[in-house]
Structures are given as C-alpha cells and as structure tokens.
Structure 1
C-alpha cells in the first residue's frame, strides 16, 4: 500500500436487532458464531455489490477482487469481552393443514400428491447474536478520498439493523514497521500473505465458510502502527487483502 495515502478507521458496531447466520448446525440447533465475517461486512458497508437476483456460485472474486486494486480492506468484526449477548428462538415451517405427512424431505399436505423435496429445515431452534452486542472492526484504505462510511447497515439472514460509529486512527509512521505482535482482533486466514502465515505461532480458529477466521494470533511481519483517541497504539498487519482468488 502507498504509505502517503494510507488511512485507517476503527468502527464500533452495535447490533440493534438480533443477527442470525448459520455457521454451525448441531441437530436441530442452528448457531451463529460470535463473530461477523469481513466479506459479509464489506457487502453490508456498500463497498461492493452483487446482483439482486443471482442463483449462481459465490461471486467473491468478481465483487471483492476490484477492492484489492483500489487498496480497500475490511477486517472481520470482533465482539468485545463481556459485550456479546445471545438470543434463542424457535421456528416451525410445518403446515397447519388438517392432513400432513413427511414425504421426500418435505411435508405433504395432500393425500394423493407427493411434495417436492425441500433442502431446508422444517423446525428447529436458532441461536442468534443478540441486540446491544458490541463489536469492533477496521477499514484500511489507500485511496485519497475516503469511501462512504455508513452509520447504519444490515446484517445476516434477516437483514438486521446495526449502527456503526467511525473513528479515524492517525498513523504513527508513514511506513509499515517489522514487529512481533499479539493481535487481539479477528483475522481472515485467506487474506493473510504467505509471509505472514508462515510466522503464525499461536492462534485459535473458527472453521466457517468461505474462509476460516483466526483469533488471538501471534505473528511477525510488517505492521501499520496507529494511535486511538486515548493514545494507545493499534497494530494492523500491513499485508492483508481479499484472498478471493484461491476460494
């Protein structure tokens, strides 16, 4: 990235409604992991857009790839300790008709007619990220003009509302510096350069699609150093970009 135009923003994300996405399924329980992926955030922020009506394969390379050329990158959202809530809900998609039966992974409501097979659950429980949960993420850009930073976005399967508050972080140095750091926020494993991946010595992993997310990382490499409003240093790996070519 061009050091003269690098800009870093820290975003404070507040969930105003329960947010659901299926990242783990255990029997009839469908769980949302305690995180928000950076690809989903990038779409939600409006930095890229996919066609409204699309039934093909994922478009990560077409949609996110151009952001690498522009020098825009969004990290995954990390929930703050003690600021994550969960909401549980039940759903039942079965028919209320007088007659019903299970037929071909679907519920038939007519005695002499087979139902079309449906690849979705008929009933179960949801564990969602609860309203008022707080998380942070970062936006790194090397464009001279800052991209539009919205105050409200929609997230998850139910397009739940969330508020975003932005804080610009001034750089301490105009060049990334070599360092050995413990990173307290989520990183996308697919978005790290091979040089960074080779230095990973400790981490926890969430195996979710489309790429695993890492937490509590200790790694060596080039870092941008910035300062927040309290004067505390913030370190972000300099070699991050959307690794959509290999997905």
Structure 2
C-alpha cells in the first residue's frame, strides 16, 4: 500500500491589476507569469515579516524557521482561459479572453506645490537610484493561478486559509478557493510538472529541464529526477507530480 498525505489545492483569482518585479529591464518593471512562494507564505498568513524592510534584505529564512519543515507551499502556476471558465463560471469555454497582462506607465512628482526643475549637474538626488518615471507590465484582473500546500505535519482541517488575500507591490486583491486533495508518494524516475523554487530541493535533474529566471528565486518548471515523488490527482487533466520532500529555501538554510 502506497504512502499518502493530505494537501490543499489553492485557486487564486486576481481581482485587481497586480504588479511585482519579476525582472527589470531599463525603465520597465515586468510581472512574470508565476506567483512565487516567497509571496504566498506571507499572503496566505503562514508567516509575517517586517512592515518596512530596512536595507532591502529579505528575511525569508528567519520568518519561516518554525514552519518550513511542517508544510510546503508551491509557487502558483497560471491556468488557461478554459480552466478559468470551468472553475469560476461553472462551464468550459476556450474561445473567451480573460486575464493576461497589460502595459502602463507612471510618472511620479514630489508632493510639493512648486517643483524646481534642476539641471542634471545640479540635481540634489543625482547619483541616487530613485526612479521618477517608467513603464510597468502587470497582471490584469481575471487571471487564475493554482498552488498547492503540501502538509507534512498536523491536521489539514486546522489550516486557516483566508478567502481574500493581498499580492504584489500595491497589495492588490485576489480571491482564494480551496479543496483538499490526497497526495500519493511513489519512488522511481519521474517528470516534475509543477513549478517549485530552485533552492527548495536538493536533487539533481537528469534531463528535460525547463527553468524560469525570476526574482528573488528562479523556478524549476519541469525536470526529470530519480527518487521519491508526490503525485496529486487532477480531475479532468494530467496528474501533478512534484519531488518529495520539498522545503522552502532548503538549500539556503
């Protein structure tokens, strides 16, 4: 008889324009196609950090020191329009346009009545990285993402997952729906097909590697491994397969 343990499937629907800096190219700030678990641990209420991050040094390891071995939250992957209509509207349609990204620009001015236009040589803030204008590529409303909470210890029924959360630099609103699923543990050669952080697993891939560079943590989107794995049945689609046992920033502790 194979081992098993419970997990929670979290469906996240963006309800606002959502901005986070997956990459910065020139004056462009780009929100990527995945929501990192560095954000989800905080957004879902499993840990908390300083409101003001002095020195721009994240404290992920310290903030999750009590829970990282008890549960693992995967990054959230985007879902196609057909899956959005099935989960949110209750019927499946592939010929609709929902979600996606949009471009915008911003131009910040100091909060003073009169602003002096300094020359480049005399500007008091010259030499400081304080951008005053730029472009942003953000997630629109009606984007759907799926993440999983793998519970290694405790009772899955005791988890308190909020119905609504805040994401991104501007604390945009998102709706969360959940369902409990069963994970089956197997062993052998397997193809992982759901994203996880590159520092969350110590195994070395043997092939079929697809990764995405994101900030602050790159993601493994697909890879083939040998060892123990977790299989999560997914109704109507292929099963989700992940390595066992993933732990948040495991290789950085």
Aligned-residue CA RMSD (Å): 2.6
Deviation of residue 200 (structure 1)?
Answer: 3.9
Which of the residues 183, 205, 226 maps onto 1:199? Answer: 205
Deviation of residue 220 (structure 1)?
Answer: 2.7
Q: Which runs of 4+ in 1 moved over 6 A?
A: none
Partners of 1:65 and 1:199 in 2: CA distance = 27
Which of the residues 94, 97, 102 maps onto 1:87? Answer: 102
Q: How many residues are treated as equivalent by the alignment?
A: 230
> How high is the TM-score relative to the length of structure 1?
0.82
Deviation of residue 116 (structure 1)?
Answer: 7.2
Deviation of residue 84 (structure 1)?
Answer: 4.7
Partners of 1:50 and 1:98 in 2: CA distance = 36
Q: Unmatched 5+ residue regions in structure 1? A: 109-113
Establish whether residue 119 from structure 1 lines up as the match of residue 129 from structure 2: yes
Which of the residues 152, 162, 167 maps onto 1:142? Answer: 152
Q: Unmatched 5+ residue regions in structure 2? A: 82-97
Aligned twin of 1:64: 64
Which sits farther off after the overlay, 39-48 or 234-243? 234-243
Partners of 1:201 and 1:122 in 2: CA distance = 44
Query: 5 Å matches for 1:180-195?
Result: 180-193=189-202
Partners of 2:64 and 2:188 in 1: CA distance = 28
Is contact 1:61-1:244 (8 Å) kept?
no
Which sits farther off after the overlay, 86-95 or 8-17? 86-95
> How high is the TM-score relative to the length of structure 2?
0.80
Partners of 2:52 and 2:24 in 1: CA distance = 27
